[in-house]
Amino acid sequence: MSHVRASDVATMADLSRSQLYSRLVPYGGFKTLLCEWRLERIARQLCAPENDATSIKTLLFSNGFSSTEQFQRLFRQRFGISATEFRQREKAAATHWCAD
């Protein structure tokens, strides 16, 4: 799912690309929603024990981010801490963010 295109999503939803964009405006637009989805997915992957040995860099690139700096900035904006801190806190916590 790293290369999601608006035209593909529009086709799957039986909409034109412009209709898709118009319908997503109230939610921040296609790019915003896609970025949020990717950040949430990475956060869940950071919680998963099977990803303990997977680097954050590998996760961010496999989820469609093309820049480490961009990812770090957006992750911190969304969660208030870095991805490394998030992973450490989740491993130490009795209840996990990911359990929701």
Separation of alpha carbons 56 and 49, rounded Å: 13
pLDDT digits (tens, 9 = 90+) for 67-88: 999 999 999 999 999 999 999 9
Instruction: Tell me the mean pLDDT in the region 3-32.
Output: 83
Q: What global pTM score does this model have? A: 0.79
Instruction: Tell me the mean pLDDT in the region 91-99.
Output: 69
Q: Which domains does the chain have, with CATH numbers?
A: 6-99 (1.10.10.60)
Count Cβ atoms below 10 Å from residue 64 Cβ, excluding itself. 17
Q: Is the dihedral of CA 17, 18, 22, 23 positive or negative?
A: negative
Is 22 within 8 Å of 12 (Cβ atoms)? Answer: no
User: Which of the two residues, 4 and 17, has the higher pLDDT score?
Assistant: 17
pLDDT band at 2 (very low <50, low <70, confident <90, very high): low
CA-CA distances (angstroms) from residue 12 to 1, 6, 18, 19, 31? 14, 10, 14, 13, 17
